[in-house]
Amino acid sequence: MVATTDSKVGWYSTVRARLGYAFGQFMPYVTGGLAVAHSSANLTLQPVAPAPVLTPFAASVTKTHVGYAVGGGVEFALNQNWSIKGEYLHLGLGSESYDFDFGSAGSVHSDSKLSLDIARVGVNYRF
């Protein structure tokens, strides 16, 4: 049998506080809080030699990971209403166990530790 796996994060969300200090138009800050992500993992077992009685087995498992978000960034005020920013976030989303059940063919167990590193830029408008 040949095993093929893939996994992906479908979505993630954070709830964070931001603490910074403005030096004129420039404000460095740190941020931290709660992170949640939804992931899926797929496993396919394919027979090596084609035979009518050997069929591929496939299984999928989805999990919700809960952890923390920490990071920092800088924001620069262009005028009273507009600003631009750059930010880095690290999401530590802990470990989850994935159990793939192939019925009478057996099962496979896997542990996964999920973390994400995110860099982004943005434009803000204040009313």
- d(CA 117, CA 122) in angstroms, rounded, equals 17
- pLDDT digit string, tens, across residues 25-63: 999 999 999 999 999 988 887 777 765 556 677 888 898
Strand pairing of 82-101 and 26-46? Answer: unpaired
In a domain, 59, yes or no: no
In a domain, 115, yes or no: yes
Identify the domain containing residue 95 by its residue range.
Answer: 11-37+65-125
pTM: 0.79
3-state SS string over 18-80? EEECCECCEEEEEEEEEEEEEEEEEEEEECCCCECCECCEEEEEEEEEEEEEEEEEEEEECCC
Instruction: Determine the Cα–Cα distance for residues 84 and 47; give it in Å rounded to an integer.
Output: 54
Q: Is 77 a member of any domain?
A: yes
User: What residue type is assigned to position 16 of the chain?
Assistant: R
Kindly state whether residue 48 falls inside one of the protein's structural domains.
no
Q: What are the tokens at 101?
A: 């059940």
DSSP-derived letter for residue 81 is S
The reply to whether 18 falls in a domain is yes
Q: In the chain, how many domains are there?
A: 1
Domain-embedded: residue 2: no
Angstrom distance (rounded) from CA 97 to CA 83: 42
Say if 51 falls within a structural domain. Answer: no
Tens of pLDDT, residues 86-113:
999 999 998 888 888 777 667 778 888 8
Is residue 94 one of the residues assigned to a domain?
A: yes
